[in-house]
Amino acid sequence: MTIELTKEVRADAIVSIQKYFEKNMEEPIGNIAAGALLGFFLEDIGPVIYNQAVADVQEKLRQRVDELEYEVHEEEFRYWKKYEAKPRK
């Protein structure tokens, strides 16, 4: 699955990359180079992050489904049990 960004998000990401280079690297990075770097990250590293996020969500959903079993479970055939538990006079 290719990770796609909207034009607005892509533009914000490029600005962020340029700012990072400005603050942390010896050389600034241009708009085109920052866009290419972003493309590389999205294609090569993005799927790793995406897959981990999916695995995290799956685990949370499994936990929630397990909790639901206890929250919504109803004991079956309860009618007669309430009479059997009472001593007869």
Q: pLDDT tens for residues 6-28?
A: 999 999 999 999 999 999 999 99
Token output for 73: 């479970």
Model pTM score: 0.69
Please answer whether residues 50 and 3 qualify as being in contact, where contact means their C-beta atoms are separated by less than 8 angstroms.
Answer: yes
pLDDT at residue 71 tops 80? yes
In which band, very low, low, confident or very high, does the pLDDT at 64 lie, cut at 50, 70 and 90?
very high
Closest CA to 5 of 42, 37, 54, 36: 42
Q: What CA–CA distance (Å, rounded) separates 17 from 30?
A: 9
Task: Find tokens 């999916």 and name the residue.
Answer: 54
CA gap 10, 86 in Å, rounded:
70
